[in-house]
Structure 1
Amino acid sequence: MGTVYINARCKKILYLLLTHDNYMSLQQIAKETGVSKRSIYYDLCKINELLTSYHIPELEVVRGKGILISAENKKQIESIVENEQGEESYIFSPTERVKIIICYIIHNPEATYIEQLSDYCEVSRNTIFNDLRVVVNQLQDYNLTLYYESKKGYHIVGDVIRIRALFFLYFNTLLPLFDSGVLTFIKREDLNIYWSKLKSIEKELNTTYVDGILFSLSALLSVIYNNSTDEPYFPNLKKEELVKTTEFQLVQKYFPDLKETEQTYICLHLLGSRIAAPTNDIFEDNSNESVYEITKALVSEFEKIACVIFEEREELERALFVHINTSLYRYQYGIQIGEDMTDDVIREYPNLFDITKLASKYLEQLVGLPIPDNEVAYLALHFGAHLKISRSLNEQLRILIVCVNGISTGNMLKREVQKLLPHAKIVDVVAAIDVINIQEICDLVISTVKIKSVVPTITVHPILTDFDRKTILNHHLVAKRKQLMESDALFDIIKKYVNEDDYANLKLDLSKYFQGNLNGFGLPFSEEPLGLIEILAEDRIQITSKTFSWTEAIRFSGKLLLEMNSIERRYLDNIIAQIRYYGPYMFIAPGLMLAHAKPEDGVKSLDVTLTVFQKPVQFSEFHEARLIITLAAEDQEKHLKILKDIMTIFSIQSRVDEIASLSTKESILQYMKHIITQK
């Protein structure tokens, strides 16, 4: 017994069936496991072989119902599954399969056929066919095409640089699978040879590349050696400047058998994979003016989508210009930059990331390629660092922010610390190498890297975690000052209700209370921002069949906010003034206006309303509103989740008309909740 084994997906199918008391259809099982019904049939054959070897009745598929395991058989099967020591093969998820298929086809120097992909991914031909449909859609984003020829199999057609950029991007995300030995279509021995040479280059450059970058580049070298006929082309490249770089000379030294164009390609990756790559020296710089215009337009796009106005816009534009100017060619070649903080940014600033991703669509149109999430994360840090913090208090504690070298990361950290400690003074943001004689300028250092300093130092992650925040708040320098401020503030509130003779005792009791409850100061940052559905109730929705001019429509849409005491009347006056001056720029989709002004223009509290106009309101010859969402944002950040929800709902144009056609407030709310919940 036990000579028959089952893999991880077969075990998952058994677990699904064992935990169901009713029939489970093959369609349900296929959906849960992410494969086709045919793959499920194959897996059932393996499962039945195992059950037969243990003299247990085979699983039967009842027509029109599915599979149901009897209570008696469940006990036997459970004991087998618990003791089964068979093959624990890794089962690729649908997303992983798509990336693997693309990398497999690009890497394979021979013909690639359905059977190979089916065997490698351990799924049926039907599942691979379904995966290939997704592959085709993803390739279209890169202006690439999946092509099939008889006797030549599948191959990807298009610009070689874009093909390699996609391979480099996807292989980098598949590295954990490769490291665990699951990804086997690329020979580790070959990659180790290339990796060893790249590490030698790294050593001679006296620099350090981010973990994984050189190994992904090794895989890319494997692609280059396998497909030596396809050569990249580099427009605007100053070749005479590139060949002077130490990187190029080292590539020639360690990869003398590569063609010069390929040596150039590897050199660009080595230069671009560092944050401060000197791109202006190796590319024509006559496009600087156009890049600055792109930067300004990107900031405007973010302001429009996020309903904010950057007070230090020029400073933001300069910082973004430096980043984008050195990143445009990275986008084109799929070069990974610096430390990938994508997961950290998405975890800590999900709404900021999503708004930035929407704004980045503008960049994608110009570049002609999707902007990778790690680049979106860096852009999000730039935008986030320049969002205004509301309700600053008196400055007391002097804090110095220290980071490795990233300006965007340091500025974002500065903003988060200032938001966490509004009473503190952030004296500067400096690189670790510039930390000299700092005891004269600060009382506390918050650093993303360990440093030696006579000043008390807190080491945190580049993207603050909740643990980091608690560590900062509980530091004795912070806690003492915060305790004193909270105690004094509460004393000022209470003293009017207490006799003067009791002031001293009251102050003492408050001081004792706060000394014993310092951990309580960590609560505010755990609050979840409110989304559209959390605020938009039936009392904030209007449906009207009346005819309005556009100014009347703005006032009618905002009257609920006035009634809720969320805004002052001048807020609506400012919206009208903005539209008169700039035109109907607040339309975010045909038929949909997001009416808003600045927080200081009369906002009392965060709120939002929706008005449905059964008779569309004419704002211009080309703009008419069927829906007006009126947003009152009390600062530049708390409303971002609301905006994210709005963008999610109206990402499909037909939904404007569908909501406008609904006749009750309840049905509108249910419609929106369904979309948000599904997302």
Structure 2
Amino acid sequence: MTDERSRILMKRLIERSIHEVDELTDQTGLTKRQLEYSLDKINEYVTTEKGSKLVIENNRIILTNQLREQFIAILSDKTYLKGYLMNACERSKYLYLLLFYFLDDYLSINHFIEELGVGKTTIINDLKNLAIELERENIQLVYTRKNGYQLVGNEEQIRYHLMKMIIWDSTENNTVFVYDHFIEKHQIETVDSTKQLVEKYTKRYGISFVENRLTEFLYTFIFLKKRLLSLTANVNPKYQLSALIAMKEYQFSKSILIHFGIEDESARVYLCAWILGLSIGRPNDSTKDYETIIDLVKRIILRFEAISGIRFNNQELVVRQLYTHLRPAYYRLYFKLPIVNPLHTKIRDEYNELFNIVEETLKPIASLFEHPIPEDEIAFLTMHFASLCSSFDEYTTTQKVALIVCPNGIGSSSIVYTELKVLFPELSFLGPVETNEIERLSDSYDLIFSTVPNIRLFYTKKPVYIVSPIMNTREKYRLISDVYTQIGNSNFKLPSVGKIMEIIQRYAAISEGASLEKELYDYLTNQEEQTENNEEGPSLLEITAPELIQLDMHAKNWEEAIRLSAASLLKEGRITRNYIDTIIETAKNEGPYMVISKHVALPHARPVDGVEKLGMSISVLKHPIVFGSQENDPVKYIFCLAATENNRHLNAMAELVRLLDDPQFYDLLDTSNDPNEIYHYLSRKEVLLG
């Protein structure tokens, strides 16, 4: 008899041979007591040799090779479903699947009791909890004597809830267990057979899915097709665009639906819109929407460069990478499709400055969709820009080769690849690839890094390391220790942060334990280039100075305004004269790229064009000047940026972005005659922003 805790614990245990109990409780959300109980249940379920059961010893759990192989076999074999006990959350999802799929059947409490094998009181409580959850999305769970239990509400919203469930489970929870259980029990068309059909038509029409997006589509479509056959959604009028019908995604949708005997036009258009929001954008395809999307991509890149102070060297690479993400993102936003990014919070924490800059970059774009861009979508784009902003050296080696497996798409895989190259410079890397590539490359690699603990990886019999696409310093620390202990120097051992904390506590009072622990992890992993012990990079206050602030500045035209604003940086030795000339020449060739918002310009060039030291000047024109930006002219406030190669200025830029929304800041710039007053204002704002 197994349950969700046992299943999740087995999946977590096979990732490593040795687990610290405290870390395992953090990862699983179980208390130590619950963990011990689950270990006992697993020990009852598996057959082991004497002395090889799971036990906690010295606050650690050691997994033998024999147990690992058994766990892999158990998790790969669906026979243990028969004795599986669902928890309340799983039962809630299962009830929704019953109501969603058997929309024409009479469903009563007796049906639910028989289906789930639990008592009447449990089912009544489960239905109450489900009803409360659905009410938040304007869906009602209604019972009548005539029709039994039914879902009532907007059909699009009912479908949306299913999609969100599947997206969340297949990504964040990394399990489609409940859906497999339902499909197996009711002998619905299998995922494998549906996949074969879908792949047939994706090849025919040249449509590509990221591995995880394909999984989402397959499971959702299996449950959705019955409703598409018998129920018409009141689709958004935007779905009726004639341009949609001319797309290959429409032909794909039409072919798939005909296979299942569905010829309703609204179903085709609905499915087409959904496919557009899931599939990969390919910049080489001559699609009807290519010009629209590519123009949007270029606008986003230009605005990001203007706000961030970063000028990308390889524009073609940047355009291609962003196009692959932005085409489906455009349709997700346009049709208000589900957007679920389980890494949203982690991305915001680890890339806070960049997230704020990307958020500001996208503000004008939001007007296209008549609603703000969700933070989940901003986080996706932040991942792309994080990978594009990284400029690490390439390393070569004739030693170990590591394969990176990432089914989540180019944003996640680019960041993972970049992070791992820095963590393990002596390794040579293959990939990133999707899971189905591992067999083909089996002789080419020595170890695997994967963002998803897919059971198939462990069948390779090679070391497997599960990593988060966004790793904090503690996770990097653990990964370095695991890898070097297993495949590197057998004598290698990272100092224990916990032990260091214990020693410090013996001799000193610690006022901020969490901060101290994080800094110790940062230092020991040595991952951030922490110049001057400033992990986040200098603040706006640190890259400017009173001598770089000019008020009531007179200029005849935009060129003179830029030269005068940069003059203080030149005088202080932060830039060369060539840097100023490059800004002017770029503006003549590309237009007023530096005008980033109403009345505000941020002139800058690449570090190689003449930056000697990080800095920013602040200039206020006595009389505003037209720069040639129809939308934001005339310019009155000029922030001339000199950024260095390692992007350490992004923290300061994030602060500037916040300042540009502050009316008091503009009032002070307009009325003050003292640069020191401006500088002190920045100092006060820095304290307030923490």
Name the CA distance, whole Å, in 2 between partners of 1:438 and 1:171. 33
C-alpha displacement of 1:521 = 4.3
**How far 1:296 sits from its partner (Å)?**
2.8
Confirm or deny that 1:463 pairs with 2:470. Answer: yes
- What do residues 181-201 of structure 1 show as CA deviations (whole Å, max 9, x unaligned)? xxxxxxxxxxx999x999978
Corresponding residue number in structure 2 for 1:590: 598
Question: Contact 2:303–2:596 at 8 Å: present in 1 too?
Answer: no
Shift of 1:445: 3.3
The alpha carbon displacement at 1:410 in A equals 1.1
> Retained in 2: the 8 A contact 1:392–1:423?
no
CA distance in 2, matches of 1:562, 1:166: 61
Residues 302 and 359 of structure 1 are in contact (CA less than 8 Å); yes or no, is this contact kept in structure 2?
yes
1:324 aligns with 2:330: no
What SS is found at the alignment partner of 2:470? Answer: coil
**1:377 alignment partner, one of 376, 379, 395:** 379
Alpha-carbon distance in 1 for matches of 2:310, 2:409: 25
1:390-418, CA deviations, whole angstroms, 9 ceiling, x for partnerless residues?
Answer: 56667676443221252232122112223
| Residue equivalent to 1:51 | none
| 2:406 counterpart of 1:403 | yes
Q: Is the 8 A contact 1:332 1:369 kept in 2?
A: no
Q: 1:432 to 1:377 in 2, by over 3 A?
A: same
- Identical-residue share of aligned pairs (%): 20
- Give, as a single letter, the amino acid of the residue that structure 1 aligns with 2:655: D
Q: Quick one: which of 344, 347, 366 aligns to 1:345?
A: 347
The answer to whether structure 1 residue 605 and structure 2 residue 606 are counterparts is no
Query: 2:47 — aligned with what?
Result: none
Q: Residues 424 and 278 (structure 1 numbering): CA distance in 2 closer, same or farther, change over 3 Å?
A: closer
1:314: Cα distance to partner?
1.7
Q: Label 1:412 to 1:576 Cα distance change in 2 as closer, same or farther (>3 A).
A: same
Structure 2 equivalent of residue 632 of structure 1: 642
Asked if structure 2 preserves the Cα contact closer than 8 Å seen for 1:103 and 1:170, the reply is no
Contact 1:251 1:267 in 2 (8 A): no
Measured after TM superposition, the shift of residue 442 of structure 1 is 4.5
Alignment CA distance shift 1:592-1:198 (3 Å) = farther
Q: Which residue of 1 aligns with 2:503?
A: none
| Greater CA drift, 433-442 or 638-647 | 433-442
What one-letter code is carried by the residue in structure 1 that aligns with 2:468?
Answer: H
CA 1:214 to 1:350, structure 2 compared with 1: closer, same or farther past 3 Å? farther
Distance in 1, matches of 2:256 and 2:642, equals 55
SS class of match (2:240): coil
Q: State how far apart, in whole Å, the 2-side matches of 1:534 and 1:608 are.
A: 9
SS at match of 1:360: helix
- Give me the TM-score of the superposition, normalised by structure 1: 0.56
Deviation at residue 434 of structure 1 after TM alignment: 0.9
Q: 1:593 to 1:197 in 2, by over 3 A?
A: farther
The residue identity in structure 2 corresponding to 1:573 is D
User: What letter corresponds to residue 464 of structure 1 in structure 2?
Assistant: M
Is the Cα contact below 8 Å between 2:307 and 2:602 reproduced in 1? no
Task: Give the Cα separation in 1 of the matches to 2:331 and 2:235.
Answer: 23
Tell me the SS of whatever aligns to 2:602: strand
Distance 2:365 2:478 in 1: 38
Q: Call closer, same or farther: CA 1:650–1:228 in 2, change over 3 Å.
A: closer
Structure 2 CA distance for aligned equivalents of residues 632 and 471 of structure 1: 37
Report if aligned partners of 1:613, 1:626 keep a CA contact under 8 Å in 2. yes
Q: SS state of the match for residue 445, structure 1?
A: strand
Q: Give the equivalent residue in structure 2 for 1:311.
A: 313
CA distance in 1, matches of 2:486, 2:640: 40
Q: 8 Å contact 2:281–2:324 — kept in the other structure?
A: no
Partner Cα distance (2:367, 2:599) in 1: 23
In the alignment, structure 1 segments of 5+ residues that lack a partner are: 1-96, 110-155, 177-191, 253-258, 485-516
TM-score, length of structure 2 as denominator length:
0.55
Q: CA deviation at 1:607?
A: 2.5
Whole-Å separation in 2 of the counterparts to 1:413 and 1:555: 41
- Matched to 2:354, the amino acid is L
Counterpart in the other structure of 2:574: 566
Deviation, structure 1 residue 460: 0.5
> Superposition pairs for residues 42-57 of structure 1, below 5 Å?
none
Flag structure 2 segments of 5+ consecutive residues without an equivalent: 1-131, 143-152, 169-180, 199-213, 493-519
Q: Give secondary structure in 2 for the equivalent of 1:458.
A: strand
Contact 1:532 1:641 in 2 (8 A): yes
Question: Is structure 2 residue 240 aligned with structure 1 residue 234?
Answer: yes
Instruction: Name the SS of the counterpart of 1:609 in structure 2.
Output: strand
Q: How far is the alpha carbon of 1:598 from its aligned partner?
A: 0.1
Encode CA deviations 1:165-223: one digit per residue, 9 max, x unaligned: 799599959x99xxxxxxxxxxxxxxx999x9999786863598559x969x99xx99x
Q: Letter of the 2:240 partner, please give it.
A: F
- 1:299 is matched with 301
Whether the aligned pair in 2 keeps the contact of 1:575 and 1:597 (CA below 8 Å) is: yes
The 3 A distance-change label for structure 1 pair 573 and 441 is: farther
Aligned to 1:523: 526
Alpha carbons of structure 1 residues 426 and 653: separation in structure 2 relative to 1, 3 Å: farther
* Alignment partners' CA distance in 2, 1:443 and 1:540: 56
Aligned match for 1:660, one of 662, 670, 681: 670
For 2:266 and 2:289, how far apart are their aligned partners in 1?
25
Q: Quick one: structure 1 residues 532 and 244, their matched pair in 2 at CA, closer, same or farther if it must change by over 3 Å?
A: same
Is the radius of gyration larger for structure 1 or structure 2?
1
Measured in 1, the distance between the counterparts of 2:329 and 2:522 equals 43
Q: Does the CA contact (< 8 Å) of 1:608 and 1:632 recur in 2?
A: yes
CA gap of 1:459–1:293, structure 2 versus 1, over 3 A, is same
Helix, strand or coil for the counterpart of 1:529?
A: coil
Q: Once the 2 structures are TM-superposed, how far is the Cα of residue 312 of structure 1 from its aligned partner?
A: 2.9
Paired with 2:683 and 2:610, the residues of 1 have a C-alpha distance of 29
Shift of 1:596: 1.0
How many Å separate the matches in 2 of 1:172 and 1:445?
Answer: 30
Question: How much does 1:433 deviate?
Answer: 1.4
CA drift of 1:364 comes to 2.8
Structure 1 segment 204-603 matched on structure 2, within 5 A = 205=194, 233-235=239-241, 236-238=243-245, 241=251, 244-246=254-256, 260=264, 263-264=267-268, 267-268=271-272, 271=275, 274-275=278-279, 285-336=287-338, 340-390=342-392, 398-404=401-407, 406-421=409-424, 425-436=428-439, 438=441, 441-442=444-445, 444-450=447-453, 451-452=457-458, 453=460, 455-474=462-481, 475-476=483-484, 521-525=524-528, 528-530=535-537, 532-536=539-543, 538-539=545-546, 541-545=548-552, 547-549=554-556, 550-551=558-559, 553-562=561-570, 564-603=572-611
1:630 is displaced (CA, Å) by 1.9
Structure 1 residues 205 and 620, CA, compared in 2 at 3 Å: closer, same or farther? closer
Deviation at 1:306, TM superposition (A): 2.3
